[in-house]
Structure 1
């Protein structure tokens, strides 16, 4: 096991098998802050079933006090997140990868290796679950109702009544779109039951970026899909909103399995 440089911390991107694909790829990668990426695993002829993908980063930039300030810097945070993601996506294209959170840090290589040994079996179990699978995102959006239309002058009893009738029709359209979105969500769930090995329900998107769109996000799920069933899954999900007015289904991916990196929730079945 090589020693970490003096004045550094060990930054961990992901867990992966110490397989030839990872060994060959990792030296070509650049991580956070432009730091080189390496593979850390148990020394000797038997490296064990799992390895950490790491960079040595300057302690002065990544210790607790530094991070408190840096996490307030949105430009720095975006750049770090992109670099972290870039390493994980490169690995995911060639081997099974268990992504870890941004700024997962250890004091040195010895501390990181200790954590790897302590959690090695749990990591190996989670990697086995993810092997041969890919994450896809599925979002359902409600489209805005058409603008209120005033009734024709010949049929309108008064301008006020015509306006109220138009507003009522717009509200009914809006409610109908939400009902259609519920049907689309049910269809997506049925598709997932046939093709996906796992599902994580994320909160519907909100905030400034969502507010800027006329569409309303009502479903924001992630699915873990076996690679040999991905094409059928994508085709079926794309058809989930067929014939439903006022609804849009969006599929994103393939992604590294970020949503499935945590251990699965324990079963409530006896």
Structure 2
């Protein structure tokens, strides 16, 4: 039940279990609010144990209505400090659940007016949630990123040459730099193809995210940012295969991240027929 002046914030979908319930009792969400299971019915005795989706539940907590109503969210999303705190807390809760049970992470700042409204949303999507949780069972998300390091895009030192005019020297330097960058990008393309081939031996699904930019990458340029869903019993082989392949591309930084809760695979990818048509 909600406390006065609060909204229901949902972090993830999972199946209720005794061990996970014990773990939730020791965890806190945004604003140090206690976490709770939010099952389909307010009284769990109303759900027969053998019925489909009987154990399905949101992991939820209360948040202040004054900070999470629609108007407040528009303002708070411009506050980087507030946004970082909420994102980090949301992630910590999801990861804690994922360490103990299959989980579908929900989008940050998914809020409902009250528990009743949240249960209505859970009920409306229970079949999809249950199917997806079954598909993700015993699987974990890993990321693979390729970076161009600054020193690999600098032109090599020029050999001694006869003096040239400033204009000619500038053009030659630019040409050498362009050739150097072209070679590095070609190597990155080869690395991406190699990684995709290796990962396909282990992954059940892949999502290609847009390369990261700005403060997330620093001086390095991110040119590949893929997520793979890996069966838990193949995670070690997957990581070893990527690490071994990375040694063949010394001009690049190839990084495996994870294990993560399956953020990239929480819901099925849209069918190509339903995807919006790209601009022409």
Q: Is residue 203–residue 231 contact of structure 2 (8 Å, CA) maintained in 1? A: yes
Distance 1:241 1:179 in 2: 15
Aligned equivalents of 1:229, 1:32: Cα separation in 2: 34
Select the residue among 147, 151, 156 that pairs with 2:159: 151
The alpha carbon displacement at 1:151 in A equals: 3.0
Contact 1:150 1:165 in 2 (8 A): no
Alpha-carbon distance in structure 2 between the residues aligned to 1:207 and 1:98: 29
Match of 1:237 among 242, 246, 257: 242
**What SS is found at the alignment partner of 1:231?**
helix
Q: How does 1:112-127 map to 2 (within 5 A)?
A: 112-127=118-133
Over residues 108-127 of structure 1, what are the superposed CA-to-partner deviations in whole Å (9 max), with x where a residue is unaligned?
Answer: 11111121122111100111
Aligned position for 2:11:
13
Post-superposition shift, 1:21?
A: 2.6
Q: Deviations over 1:209-247 (max 9, x none)?
A: 44x41x221100011100000001001111223323422
Tell me which residue corresponds to 1:53.
59
Matches within 5 A, 1:56-205: 56-143=62-149, 144-152=152-160, 155-158=161-164, 160=166, 161=168, 164-205=171-212
For structure 1, the residue ranges without an aligned partner over 5 or more in a row are none
Q: CA RMSD in A?
A: 1.9
2:226 counterpart (212, 221, 224): 221
Question: What residue number does 1:40 align with?
Answer: 38
The yes-or-no answer on 1:27 pairing with 2:64 is: no
CA displacement at 1:148 relative to structure 2: 4.9
Cα separation, 2, equivalents of 1:244 and 1:133? 29
TM-score, normalization: structure 2?
0.87
Instruction: Report the alpha carbon displacement of residue 267 of structure 1 after superposing the two structures with TM.
Output: 6.7
Residue 76 of structure 1 aligns to a residue in which SS? helix
Offset at residue 164 of structure 1 (A): 4.2
C-alpha distance after superposition, 1:117-169 (max 9, x if no partner): 221111001111111011111001123324453431xx425364555444433
What residue in structure 1 maps to residue 277 of structure 2?
none
Rounded to whole Å, the distance in 1 between the matches of 2:78 and 2:172 is 50
Compared CA separation, residues 216 and 26, structure 1 to 2 (3 A): same
Asked if structure 1 preserves the Cα contact closer than 8 Å seen for 2:76 and 2:83, the reply is yes
**In 2, are the aligned partners of 1:177 and 1:245 still within 8 Å (CA)?**
no
Give the Cα–Cα distance (whole angstroms) in 1 for the partners of residues 180 and 198 of structure 2. Answer: 27
Which deviations, in whole Å up to 9, do the C-alpha atoms of 1:58-115 show, x marking residues without a partner? 2222211222222221111111111111110111111111000111111111111121
Q: 2: CA distance between counterparts of 1:100 and 1:249? A: 29
> Which range is displaced more, 162-171 or 10-19?
162-171
1:7-65 Cα offsets, whole Å, 9 max, x none, are 22111000001122321111111101111111111321536131100002222222112
Give the distance between the partners of 2:169 and 2:158, measured in 1 at CA.
6
Unaligned runs of 5+ in 2: 274-280
